[in-house]
Amino acid sequence: MTLKRLSVVLLACLTLSACGGVDPNSPLGQRKAIFKQMLKTGEDLGGMLRGRIPFDGPKFTEGAVKLDALSHEPWKHFPSVREEDHTSAKDDVWQRQARFQEMARTLEAATGELVIASKVQPYKASNLGPAVQKVEDACSACHKEFRDH
């Protein structure tokens, strides 16, 4: 009897825990995954410049290219109308699409400039730092305007 009750409780817990997840194939799930990759890549680049991670020029360039490619991806996963799922995006994403798209293009331009800066030899923080800062500023500006926390 105890094993049967324990099985029922365990099954109920597993079922409830699955309810709160985001479908990784949904637009929300896909853009969240891209944004997480962008964050990780950007943190690695910033970490190299700020001494948290040993600087490796070729890896830095590789990361800049990856970040640039990723920066073009999340926007296609914002549907034309707001989803029912809980999202960190403010309603302004859908109400002010022109501004949102403008900020997306600003980020894409900044990551493109970072790729160019990352290919200049020899690698110098004085070349790379401002380019990384421009990417970070573009991310931050969009978050302040369109993210709900």
* Low-confidence stretches of the chain (pLDDT beneath 70): 1-20, 85
CATH number at residue 116: 1.20.120.10
Would residue 10 count as lying in a domain?
A: no
Residue 3 has what pLDDT? 43
Is residue 19 a known part of a binding site?
A: no
143 is in an annotated binding site: yes
pTM for this entry: 0.82
CA distance 65 to 56: 14
pLDDT tens per residue across span 2-22: 445 544 444 444 443 444 577
pLDDT number for residue 132? 97
Give pLDDT, residue 84.
73
**6 within a domain of the structure (yes/no):** no
The parent domain of residue 101 ranges over 27-78+93-146
Confirm whether 3 is domain-assigned: no
Structure tokens at 63: 């990361």
Do the domain assignments include residue 57? yes
pLDDT, position 13: 41
- Quick check: is 5 in a domain? no
Flag whether 14 is in a domain: no
Total domain count for the chain? 1
